[in-house]
Structure 1
Amino acid sequence: MPLHDLVGGNAFYIGVTRRCSIAFPVLKGAQSGFVTAGHCGAKGMSTTGFNRVAQGVFQASDFPADDYAWVSVTPAWTATPAVDNGQGGTVPVAGAKPAIEGASVCRAGSTTDFHCGLIQQHDASIAYPQGTVFGLTRTTVCAEGGDSGGAFISADQAQGIASGGSGDCNLGGVTYFQPILEVLSAYGLELRTTAGNPPPPTTGTCTGYTSTYDGTLEAGKSAYQPQGLSYTTKITGLHAGCLDGPLGADLDLYLQKLIGATWQTVATADGPGPDEKIGYTGTAGRYRYKVGATAGSGAYTLGFSAP
């Protein structure tokens, strides 16, 4: 049986004529697939690849409010840790560390290939006729029709999924992307990376959680997870968080929810030691974890699962 590679930025088709672009190949357990924009297709829709070979099925799709989806593929397609560079080669995908505002970022798409620019603003929003999408990142990278769903990458770090914008690649424009960490968290996916998949099992006390993040804190400092961003849940359910800190430190854990335009703490675990756990039943919305170091410093691990 001929095999075909999934590569970020490559085309895929929904139906006869509708075309979008792959963002990043992913794994869900042993199942291969890819993530793309939610407005590209609805759950249950079938896809064909750039070569019109039968490819996969949309397993989940969110749009508007968010703009992401994931597609599972047949065994004929292999998830690769790569993004098409528009010049006959690829850019490797080593991880998903978010880039700061002002950093360079590039987009791969099936209409206009590979273009680069700068990150202008995190946590931006854009109003579409179908509704407003929140939590996007604004860039100076151009895009055109068919580039939707494509890959945004900074060096070798996956950044997000092309959502939409204005302008074109002749005159220039503005394009927004959906941060990759949010869709991975929402659907319980693993990014296909050059480090290999699945990743090594987590050690320590915070095992068995859907998402795991590592960080380092100094006394009196705090950090937000996942990776300075947030995650969205569509249903009411249990938010379970687990913090594993260095021996001798005093770390605290806070679960925050975006209510209106303000982040409000909805659950707190602030015992005297380095390890904390939160269990909170919350309604649909956007959430994030705050990790604070009251005393001591060092590396920590945060594991969490969302509804």
Structure 2
Amino acid sequence: MRKIVTGRRFVARSAITLLAGATAAGFLAAPVASASGIDGYSTEVAKSAVAELVASEGVSRAEAAEILRTQDANARTVSRLGEELGDRTAGGYLDAKGKPVVNVLDAATAERVRASGAEAKLVRHSTQALASAQSTLESVPAVTHTSIGLDPKTNQVVLSVSDAATGGDLAGLLRTADRLGDRVRVERVTGEMRLAIYNGEAITGGGTRCSVGFNTNKGGQNYIVDAGHCTRAVSQWNVGPSQGASFPTNDYGLIRNTTGSAPGAVSLYNGSTQKISSHAPATVGQRIQKSGSTTRLTSGSVQRLNVTVNYSEGAVHELIQTNALANPGDSGGCLFSGSVGLGITSGKGSGTSYYQPVAEALSAYGVTLNN
């Protein structure tokens, strides 16, 4: 059991691990499941997402289905209002019922947000103030086994510190967090934040097992965008050769797909698939799914954005944090919400998992999602 406390007190939690591991693909050619009644969701994904919502939020199955039906539009509302109102807002998220909430700094902006159909939450810290706090923390010499990310629900930057934290200036980092006042919340975690590549049981390149991310194409050639720590470790996979790796700093890479099969659908590991028709930024509170070769299909929600994780191999920035289950071997697998692609599996903790936003990888390599 964990106890989360606001302010700068500490929270017990486990550490984060990079998830390298296998050939079982996130994307496979399999029959597409029948309509689920939730637009964009295959039957199996809808079933998993509804079950997770019922268990975590205590809502009925009908209420859970309605949350899933409306969350894509609600996430776009949060994004649109942030763009329209600019520095008068301080981020936003979806609440437990999937409704859009936008953090605002004054009453006039709150009225505009409410007029647009979203809930307005008056907060103390601006986006600029939180970004400045995160930048200040990241300017301290990197301390291995720590992470820094934005929590719009509490209007804070969260500094997670493992009991294995080493290197850099840990005392200086904590002093800096203290000086930043209530803009920063410190959480304690246990264990190491380490690279974990499984060997032996894998059937991909070099005995290393990872999961396929997203099938893409460019100039008539199919490619797979995957985790950079996977493509950096292996030059030749059973699906084709690695063509690029950005890790650390980022965690994305590219594999040239020479199999002749590259469907734009996620394997659900039961003979059915979930079609991916677009990609978008993640939103805190958004209900998500993850497909990977170890834990297969799991569901959860987005907890934080813009997370920096300080692995022993170096820092990785701007990750998405969720509470969906992931384990070694799931690296490179797909994070998605119904038919919308969101990210590429990077790392894990106890009850948390971390993802490279897929849009950055697509842009970096100039590739397009297969449909």
TM-score category, normalised to shorter length: 0.5 to 0.7
**Within 2, Cα distance between the matches of 1:189 and 1:12?**
27
SS in 2 for 1:77: coil
C-alpha RMSD of matched pairs (Å): 2.0
- Matched AA of 1:84: S
| Residue correspondence of structure 1 range 1-307 to structure 2 within 5 A | 8=26, 13-42=203-232, 45-48=235-238, 55-74=239-258, 76-167=259-350, 173-193=351-371
Q: Is the 8 A contact 2:282 2:320 kept in 1?
A: no
Structure 2 counterpart of 1:203: none
The 1:117–1:38 alpha-carbon spacing in structure 2 relative to 1, beyond 3 Å, is: same
Contact 2:27 2:262 in 1 (8 A): no
Q: Give ranges in structure 2 of 5+ residues lacking alignment.
A: 1-23, 29-200
What is the CA-CA distance between 1:14 and the residue it aligns to?
4.1
Tell me: CA distance 1:25–1:119, structure 2 relative to 1, closer, same or farther (3 Å): same
Q: Contact 2:216–2:225 (CA<8 Å) still a contact in 1?
A: yes
Post-superposition, which runs of at least 4 consecutive aligned residues in structure 1 deviate over 2 A? 6-16, 41-44
Give the conservation status (yes or no) of the 8 Å contact 1:38–1:69: yes
Number of residue-to-residue matches in the alignment: 176
Q: Distance in 1 between matches of 2:305 and 2:313?
A: 22
Q: Please report the TM-score for the alignment, with normalisation by the length of structure 1.
A: 0.54
Q: C-alpha deviations, 1:164-216, integer Å up to 9, x for none?
A: 0213xxxxx200100010000111111112xxxxxxxxxxxxxxxxxxxxxxx
Letter in 2 for 1:32: N
Paired amino acid for 2:319:
L
**Conserved 8 A contact 1:37-1:67:** yes
CA distance in structure 1 between the partners assigned to 2:225 and 2:202 by the alignment: 12
> Could you tell me how far apart the structure 2 residues matched to 1:80 and 1:33 are?
11
In structure 2, the CA distance between the partners of 1:100 and 1:13, relative to structure 1 (3 Å rule), is same
Higher helix residue share: 2
Contact 1:7 1:24 in 2 (8 A): no
* Counterpart secondary structure, 1:19: coil
Find the aligned partners of 1:190 and 1:7 in 2 and give their Cα distance. 18
After superposition, what is the alpha-carbon deviation per residue over 1:235-291, rounded to whole angstroms, capped at 9, x for unaligned? xxxxxxxxxxxxxxxxxxxxxxxxxxxxxxxxxxxxxxxxxxxxxxxxxxxxxxxxx
- Where 2:349 maps in the other structure, the secondary structure is strand
Inter-CA distance 41–13: structure 2 relative to 1 (3 Å threshold): farther
Contact 2:27 / 2:215 at 8 angstroms: preserved in 1? no
**Contact (CA 8 Å) 1:108, 1:152: kept in 2 or not?**
yes
- 1:97: Cα distance to partner? 2.1
CA contact (8 A) 1:122 1:138 kept: yes
Amino acid at match of 2:241: V
Percent identical residues = 35
Contact 2:251 2:316 in 1 (8 A): yes
SS in 2 for 1:69: strand
Alpha-carbon distance between aligned partners in 2 of 1:94 and 1:36, rounded to the nearest angstrom: 18
TM superposition shift of 1:44: 7.6
Q: CA deviation at 1:110?
A: 0.5
Report the Cα distance in structure 1 between the residues aligned to 2:362 and 2:334, rounded to whole angstroms: 14
* Counterpart residue type for residue 72 of structure 1: R
Residue matched to 2:153: none
The secondary structure found in structure 1 opposite 2:289 is: strand
Contact 2:211 2:330 in 1 (8 A): yes
Bigger strand share: 1
Amino acid at match of 1:67: D
Give the distance between the partners of 1:12 and 1:140, measured in 2 at CA: 26
Q: What letter corresponds to residue 101 of structure 1 in structure 2?
A: V
Change (3 A) 1:141 1:43: closer
Judged with a 3 Å threshold, the aligned counterparts in structure 2 of structure 1 residues 108 and 9 are, in CA distance, closer, same or farther, namely farther
Q: CA deviation at 1:26?
A: 0.5
Q: Which has the higher contact order (CA 8 A, sep 6+)?
A: 2
- Secondary structure of 2:229's aligned partner: helix
Compared with structure 1, are the counterparts of its residues 13 and 40 closer, same or farther at alpha carbon in structure 2 (3 Å cutoff)? farther
Q: Partners of 1:85 and 1:43 in 2: how far apart?
A: 26
